[in-house]
């Protein structure tokens, strides 16, 4: 097994953490086109109030549904697997 990868820890993190990533421009389009009850950030916070722990909210500023959004989200998420 690779010395840097603790598979039990990775499985535990994946089972106990929810990562919510969104692009700021993508969310602006949702606001114009649909009537949402909550913003994505409010929805993530609501999960925390219901004792769902380890919610990570990441908003990529100035991007839409594009590679840079995914890259930033992965840059935030991947190191959490190896802490």
Beta strands in the chain (DSSP E): 18-23, 55-60
Considering the entire predicted model, what is its pTM?
Answer: 0.62
Q: Coil, strand, or helix at residue 30?
A: helix
* Structural domain of 57: 15-82
Rounded Cα distance between 24 and 73, Å, is: 12
Specify the 3-state DSSP secondary structure of 76.
Answer: helix
72 pLDDT higher than 80: yes
Higher pLDDT: 57 or 12? It is 57
- Dmax over CA atoms of the chain, in Å, equals 49
Q: Give domain status of residue 8, yes or no.
A: no
- Tell me if 44 is assigned to some domain: yes
9 occurs within a structural domain:
no
Domain total of the chain: 1
DSSP symbol at 54: -
Could you tell me which residues are beta bridge partners of residue 18?
55
Question: Does residue 52 belong to any structural domain of this protein?
Answer: yes
Q: pLDDT tens for residues 15-34?
A: 677 788 888 876 655 555 55
């Amino acid at each position: 097994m690779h010395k840097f990868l603790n598979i039990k820890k990775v499985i535990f993190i994946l089972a106990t953490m929810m990562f919510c990533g969104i692009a700021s421009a993508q969310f602006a389009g949702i606001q114009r086109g649909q009537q949402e009850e909550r913003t994505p950030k409010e929805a993530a916070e609501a999960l925390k109030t219901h004792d769902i722990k380890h919610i990570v909210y990441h908003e990529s500023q100035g991007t839409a549904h594009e590679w840079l959004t995914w890259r930033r989200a992965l840059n935030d998420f991947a190191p959490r697997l190896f802490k």
